[in-house]
Structure 1
Amino acid sequence: MRTTTQARAFVLVLGLVATGAVLVPASPASAAVPGLVRIAATSVSSSADFHSATATCPGAKVLTGTGYELNGVTGEGVVDDLRPNGGVATAPTSVTVGAYETEAFAGNWSVTAYAICANPLPGLVRISTVSVSDSADFHSTTATCPGSKVLTGTGYELNGATGEAVVDDLRPNGGVATAPTSVTAGAYEADATALNWSVTAYAICANPLPGLVRASTIGASTSLDFRSVVAGCPAGKVLTGAGYELNGVTGEGIVDDFRPNGGVATAPTTVDSGAYEEDAVANNWSDTAYAICATA
């Protein structure tokens, strides 16, 4: 014979079954980009005119963003390629960074490629567009994510310039409350050249991600030879990719460092953009760093 308490519990269970209610423990929200880490690969250090390194995502991880660092060359080397692999129907998994000397340099130097990697993301692809190829001083092109996809990371490639052009802008759109969907790559000749050349912009795109925004920080405008600025993600967000913009230097500034933090077991949350003058510049100029961030 049931007690009064047992009878009430039995009625409660029957009521839950009848209404379809299920009592389950609360669980935390899923990360927008699970398994996010930063991978690095560094080229040989020598006095060769060209250096290249490829950072590859481990296991089944995919590439959401890119970065690089020139080591030991301080304004005499320029990154010609920041090229994610993949395609319009293929998720990228690695990034290749290639750099030339802008002028003959006797010292040893190297280049580091940074890959921001995550567990597979739905709809991840790489989109590219190429500017016109001619001998104009400035070239620009914008790669836009298709349909409703959003921008997680950026890249570029200079074609035919071989150390005679520098990327002044690698600028994602979006804002502090708006998901980025495109990236513009703009490049100037570092020294006058008769060569025909062009610039390619690469957009790494995925299906919409929770909390995706673009944060930015602009450094002080001065005539110093070197400046550095860090853009960080808002609290509770992680860095999927980044960008930069040089302001007021038009071909005489070189972004030497485009370095996400993090590591092989740590999600990046900031990016450091450091730039040198290639030739002495008397006017004031500045550097802007852009961080593309999603919910952690």
Structure 2
Amino acid sequence: MMTRLNVRHFALAGALLAAPLGCTIPEFDGSNSVASVEHDDRSITADDMALLAVDERLMLDLRGGAYRIDPSAGPVDLALIDVIDPSGDVLSLDEAIARSMAAGKLSRHDLLRGIVVKAAGNEVVALALVNGLELVSASSGLSSTWWRSPTVYCPGSSTLVGMGSSQTWNGHILFRGLIPVQGLAANPYGTEAAAQEDLAGTTINWQITAYATCSRQLSGLTVAKADSSSSSSASRTWTVSCPSGKKVVGSGGTITNGNGRVKIDEIRPNETLDQVTVTASEDQDGTTSNWSLRAYAVCADAPTGLVRVRATAANGWDRRPVVAACPAEKRLLSVAGGVDAGVRTAMRTYEMVPSWDLKTATVRVGTQGSTSGVTGEVRAYAICADG
């Protein structure tokens, strides 16, 4: 028997994978006011279905079945985890999550926030995945070593969205950049952050931390990169663009050669989020060696509510935090920023850090040596989306 039900006011981008009932759900783009659900192995009625509000979004609950989000289908906000308690007892969220994890139905990476809802005498955990975002980090050792480049990997099947780094403040450490790790994989899956001592060196112990914002839900992820020419130049700026129809969700850049004399000053996504511009410069001692610059853009189909937030501090190179905050109800995808350093100055960008609650992006810049006549605007950028 083929039964067709109308589901009104259902707004969800993506598709669902059906478990035991064999029900198929068409793909939604968020504009559909009516969608059809077809079921071919038993009849179901409107009482078998519920629309459950979660954070002012709507979620489909097909009672009696387990329906999971297909991450390859597009950006999605909600997932339905299957029935976990046939007793009918009302569970707390913590109890429901614990039982789901014990049964292997959830991993810790799935959990950002959720509610417990009652469905036909059984309990179902409904999770708002907020595009499945999770922040992870990895640090180098703490010692005096001329070069450090830790790599952090996204957990499970999640993929890289945004990158960040922080290093121990030491005026003799130069930030060398952020690199998306991809290899032969279909999508980027980690961040490499690099820094090195300048030619003067230091005996002070230091370390660098790499950050990766990861997601299982963003669709259309790809990494775009562009390389400058190689020459000896006091400063260099280079821009990379996302493929047509895609938007910047993360950014990075790196330097080739120029060891001990060249540093990344700024990584800047543009306001329309279709380009990333990276600026690097020689330090105050300069070099005659050739060096080049590579700009990276992590691009994707635009998630709902994608926006860039900018914060600035004139002459903010005294290591003060410059913080860009996502608007209420949005979450941080990635951080970027730096300083308008000019040519051969003592300014050092040393921190581009996402907050652990994925709400703010913090950038810090310091100086090495004399600051006489030094001017420069420090900028922090937060790329945010609904969540």
Which bin holds the TM-score, normalised by the shorter protein? 0.7 to 0.9
Q: Name the CA distance, whole Å, in 1 between partners of 2:221 and 2:183.
A: 9
Contact 1:51–1:111 under 8 Å retained in 2: yes
* Match status 1:246 vs 2:342: no
Partner of 1:74: 170
In structure 2, do the counterparts of structure 1 residues 275 and 121 end up closer, same or farther at CA, with 3 Å as the change threshold?
same
Gaps of 5+ in 2: 1-5, 7-34, 37-45, 58-75, 78-128
> C-alpha displacement at 1:274, in angstroms?
0.6
Q: Select the residue among 181, 185, 188 that pairs with 2:278.
A: 185
Contact 1:33–1:121 under 8 Å retained in 2: no
In structure 2, do the counterparts of structure 1 residues 245 and 44 end up closer, same or farther at CA, with 3 Å as the change threshold?
closer
Partner of 1:5: none
Cα root mean square deviation, aligned: 2.4
> C-alpha displacement at 1:165, in angstroms?
1.0
In structure 2, do the counterparts of structure 1 residues 37 and 172 end up closer, same or farther at CA, with 3 Å as the change threshold?
same
Could you say which structure has the greater relative contact order, defined with CA pairs below 8 angstroms and 6 or more residues apart?
1
Q: Name the CA distance, whole Å, in 1 between partners of 2:155 and 2:133.
A: 11
Q: Select the residue among 292, 309, 315 that pairs with 1:215.
A: 309
* Match status 1:259 vs 2:353: yes
What is the percent sequence identity of the aligned residues? 31
TM-score by length of 2: 0.65
Q: Name the CA distance, whole Å, in 2 between partners of 1:116 and 1:252.
A: 30
- Which amino acid is 1:271 matched to? A
SS at match of 1:235: coil
* Match status 1:96 vs 2:189: no
> C-alpha displacement at 1:46, in angstroms?
1.1
In structure 2, do the counterparts of structure 1 residues 87 and 241 end up closer, same or farther at CA, with 3 Å as the change threshold?
farther
- Which amino acid is 1:233 matched to? C
In structure 2, do the counterparts of structure 1 residues 60 and 80 end up closer, same or farther at CA, with 3 Å as the change threshold?
same
Contact 2:177–2:264 under 8 Å retained in 1: no
Partner of 1:292: 383
> C-alpha displacement at 1:142, in angstroms?
0.7
**CA offset digits 1:119-163 (Å, max 9, x no partner):** 142110111001111001111111110010000001111001123
> C-alpha displacement at 1:221, in angstroms?
2.7
> C-alpha displacement at 1:196, in angstroms?
0.5
Task: Identify which range, 54-63 or 87-96, moves more after superposition.
Answer: 87-96
* Match status 1:37 vs 2:63: no
Q: Select the residue among 84, 87, 91 that pairs with 2:180.
A: 84
In structure 2, do the counterparts of structure 1 residues 209 and 89 end up closer, same or farther at CA, with 3 Å as the change threshold?
farther
Q: Name the CA distance, whole Å, in 2 between partners of 1:38 and 1:293.
A: 14
- Which amino acid is 1:285 matched to? G
Q: Select the residue among 367, 376, 384 that pairs with 1:277.
A: 367
Map 1:198-237; keep pairs closer than 5 Å.
198-221=292-315, 225-237=318-330
Contact 1:33–1:119 under 8 Å retained in 2: no
* Match status 1:53 vs 2:150: yes
TM-score by length of 1: 0.84
Q: Name the CA distance, whole Å, in 1 between partners of 2:304 and 2:266.
A: 27
* Match status 1:124 vs 2:217: no
How many residues are treated as equivalent by the alignment? 269
Gaps of 5+ in 1: 1-15
- Which amino acid is 1:230 matched to? V
